[in-house]
C-alpha cells in the first residue's frame, strides 16, 4: 500500500533499510547466539544520524517525531528486533526529558543522545512492581542539594549499556502513585551499579539488566518536572513509545512474511512448490492482510501523535496490542509454513517467533492495555448518557 511518505520520510526509511540489510542481517544470528550487545551497529546507526531522528533541531536533532522513529524501528526489526529495541530504548529514555525537561537539562543531555554518543534508558519496573507500577519501592529522599535514591529496578533495556537513565522513584512514600518523581541519573554516579543481566527467550542481543541504587545522590537539578509528577510523566512516556513497540512487532512480522513466501516458492513437495497448495496460500494471504492492517493502524496513530493530538492513550494502546498480536501469529505461521526447517536455528524464523513474543508483554502487557482501551470506551459511553 502506498502511504505517500514525504521525501524526508523515504530517505530515513531507505537509510534504516540499508543499515538493516548491510550491517544487521549478516550478524543477527551470531548476536542472538552469543547474546551480544550490538555496539558496532549502534555506532553505524549513530554515524548515519538515526539517533537524531527523534530529537528536535535545537538540540542537534533532525526534528522528526513518532512517525520517523517508527519507520526506523520497523526497518531495523525486519532484520533483528534485538538491535531495534536497543536503538528504540534510547528514545524511550529521552521522552520525559523532551516533554518535561528544562532548557538546561535538554542542552546538557540531548545533543549527546542525538549524536548516538550516549544511549538512554527508562527505568520504571521493579521486582514487586510490573503492571502495577504504583507498587514501586524505590525511594528518592530529599536532602541538601539533591535526592538520595535507594532501591532496585528490574528488566531495564539498555541497562549497563546506557549512559543516561530516566529513573522513577518515590519522593513521598505516603502518597502512592502521586508521590513518584522522575530523575535523570548518569551511569557513573556513586551508589549506582548494575545487577543481574537477564538471559532471555528473544531479543537476545539487547541488554536487559537490574539497576541497583544504594545511597545514590543525584543533584537537585536532575529532577524532571516537579516532585509528584513521576506517574503523569510515565503515562505520557508510555503513550508516546507504545507505537514504537508496535513498529518493532510490525517489522518482525514483515520479515517473517517475506521469509515464508520465499521458502514456500522454493520448497518442493509432491512435485510442486508448496506455495501452490491452497492451504499455504490462505495462510500467506492472512499473514499479508494482518501485516498491512497493523501498518495502517500504526502509521495512522503515529501521524495522530505528530499531528499534535492532545490525548492518544487509547490509540497508542490499540496499535501496540494489534501489531504485537499480529507479530505473534505471523511469526508462528512462518515457522509452520517452513515445517521442520522453520524449527531449526539454521533459519531465522524461530528467532523471529521468539523475538515477537516480548512485544505482547513489555510496555504494558496486552491484557492490561485491552483494559486501557475498555476504560476509554466506558468513559465515552458515560459521556453520551
Ligand atoms: C525484555 C524486557 C525488557 C524490558 N524493558 C523495560 C525497560 O526498559 N524499562 C522498564 O521500566 N521496564 C521494562 N520491562 C518490564 C516490562 O514492562 C514488564 O515486564 C511488563 O510491564 C509486565 O510486568 P511484569 O513482568 O511484572 O508482569 P506482571 O505485572 O506480573 O503481569 C503478569 C501477567 O498478568 C496479567 N496481568 C497483570 N495485571 C493485569 C491487569 N491489570 N489486567 C489484566 N491482566 C493483568 C498479564 O497477562 C501479565 O502478562 C522489560 C521487560 C522485559 C521482559
CA of 282 to the centre of ligand 1 (A): 34
pTM for this model (two decimals): 0.97
Residue pLDDT, tens place only, 300-314: 999 999 999 999 999
Instruction: State yes or no: pLDDT of 176 exceeds 90.
Output: no
370 C-beta neighbours (distance < 10 Å), count: 14
Instruction: State yes or no: pLDDT of 219 exceeds 90.
Output: yes
- Which of 124, 155, 242 most suits a substitution to test ligand 1, by most atoms within 8 Å of the C-beta? 155
What proportion of the chain, given as a percentage, has pLDDT over 90?
A: 97
CA of 365 to the centre of ligand 1 (A): 6
Taking the CA of residue 365 as reference, the ligand 1 atom at the shortest distance is 49
Question: Which residue among 163, 314, 350, 363 is the active-site one?
Answer: 363
Query: According to the model, what pLDDT value does residue 100 have?
Result: 98
- Which of 96, 125, 241 most suits a substitution to test ligand 1, by most atoms within 8 Å of the C-beta? 125
Instruction: State yes or no: pLDDT of 385 exceeds 60.
Output: no
Query: According to the model, what pLDDT value does residue 336 have?
Result: 98
Taking the CA of residue 363 as reference, the ligand 1 atom at the shortest distance is 17
Instruction: State yes or no: pLDDT of 382 exceeds 80.
Output: no
Residue pLDDT, tens place only, 244-255: 999 999 999 999
**363 catalytically annotated:** yes
Residue 146 pairs in a beta bridge with 143, 219
Contact 207, 197 (CB under 8 A): yes
Instruction: Give the CA count within 13 Å in the CB-facing half-sphere of 167.
Output: 37
Q: How confident is the model at residue 381 (pLDDT cuts 50, 70, 90)?
A: low
Report residue 358: phi and psi, to 5°.
Answer: -60, -25
Instruction: State yes or no: pLDDT of 383 exceeds 70.
Output: no
CA of 366 to the centre of ligand 1 (A): 9
Instruction: State yes or no: pLDDT of 384 exceeds 70.
Output: no
Instruction: State yes or no: pLDDT of 350 exceeds 90.
Output: yes
**Number of residues that this document lists for the chain:** 385
Residue pLDDT, tens place only, 179-189: 999 999 999 99
Contact 68, 54 (CB under 8 A): yes
Q: What would the mean pLDDT of 157-175 be, rounded to a whole number?
A: 97
- Which of 131, 152, 168 most suits a substitution to test ligand 1, by most atoms within 8 Å of the C-beta? 131
Q: Say which residues have a Cβ less than 8 Å from residue 89's Cβ, sequence separation at least 6.
A: 119, 120, 121, 122, 157, 158, 162, 206
Q: What would the mean pLDDT of 148-154 be, rounded to a whole number?
A: 98
CA of 189 to the centre of ligand 1 (A): 28
Query: According to the model, what pLDDT value does residue 305 have?
Result: 97
Task: Tell me how far apart the terminal alpha carbons of the chain are, to the nearest angstrom.
Answer: 39
**Taking all residues of the chain, what is their mean pLDDT, rounded to a whole number?**
97
Amino acid at each position: 500500500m502506498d502511504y505517500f511518505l514525504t521525501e524526508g520520510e523515504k530517505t530515513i526509511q531507505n537509510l534504516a533499510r540499508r543499515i538493516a540489510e548491510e550491517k544487521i542481517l549478516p550478524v543477527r544470528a551470531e548476536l542472538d547466539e552469543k547474546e551480544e550487545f550490538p555496539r558496532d551497529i549502534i555506532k553505524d546507526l549513530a554515524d548515519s544520524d538515526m539517533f537524531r531522528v527523534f530529537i528536535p533541531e535545537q538540540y542537534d536533532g533532525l526534528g522528526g517525531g513518532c512517525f520517523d522513529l517508527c519507520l526506523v524501528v520497523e526497518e531495523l526489526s525486519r532484520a533483528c528486533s534485538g538491535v531495534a529495541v536497543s536503538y528504540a530504548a534510547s528514545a524511550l529514555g529521552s521522552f520525559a526529558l523532551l516533554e518535561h525537561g528544562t532548557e538546561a537539562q535538554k542542552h546538557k543531555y540531548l545533543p549527546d543522545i542525538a549524536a548516538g554518543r550516549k544511549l538512554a534508558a527508562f527505568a520504571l519496573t521493579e521486582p514487586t512492581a510490573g503492571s502495577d507500577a504504583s507498587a514501586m519501592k524505590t525511594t528518592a529522599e530529599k536532602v541538601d542539594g539533591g535526592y538520595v535514591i535507594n532501591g532496585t529496578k528490574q528488566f531495564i533495556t539498555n541497562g549497563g549499556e546506557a549512559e543516561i537513565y530516566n529513573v522513577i522513584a518515590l519522593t513521598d512514600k505516603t502518597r502512592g502513585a502521586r508521590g513518584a518523581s522522575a530523575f535523570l541519573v548518569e551511569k557513573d554516579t556513586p551508589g549506582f551499579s548494575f545487577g543481574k543481566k537477564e538471559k532471555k527467550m528473544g531479543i537476545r542481543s539487547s541488554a536487559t539488566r537490574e539497576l541497583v541504587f544504594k545511597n545514590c545522590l543525584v543533584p537537585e537539578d536532575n529532577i524532571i518536572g516537579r516532585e509528584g509528577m513521576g506517574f503523569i510523566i510515565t503515562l505520557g512516556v508510555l503513550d508516546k513509545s507504545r507505537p514504537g513497540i508496535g513498529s518493532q512487532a510490525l517489522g518482525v512480522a514483515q520479515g517473517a512474511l517475506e521469509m515464508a513466501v520465499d521458502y514456500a516458492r522454493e520448497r518442493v513437495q509432491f512435485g510442486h512448490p508448496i506455495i501452490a497448495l491452497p492451504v499455504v496460500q490462505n495462510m500467506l494471504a492472512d499473514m499479508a492482510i494482518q501485516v498491512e492492517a497493523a501498518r495502517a493502524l500504526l502509521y495512522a496513530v503515529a501521524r495522530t501523535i505528530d499531528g499534535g493530538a492532545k490525548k492518544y492513550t487509547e490509540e497508542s494502546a490499540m496499535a501496540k496490542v494489534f501489531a504485537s498480536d499480529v507479530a505473534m501469529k505471523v511469526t508462528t505461521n512462518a515457522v509452520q509454513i517452513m515445517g521442520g526447517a522453520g524449527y531449526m536455528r539454521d533459519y531465522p524464523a524461530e528467532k523471529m517467533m521468539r523475538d515477537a513474543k516480548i512485544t505482547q508483554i513489555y510496555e504494558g502487557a496486552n491484557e492490561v492495555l485491552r483494559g486501557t482501551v475498555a476504560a476509554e470506551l466506558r468513559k465515552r459511553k458515560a459521556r453520551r448518557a
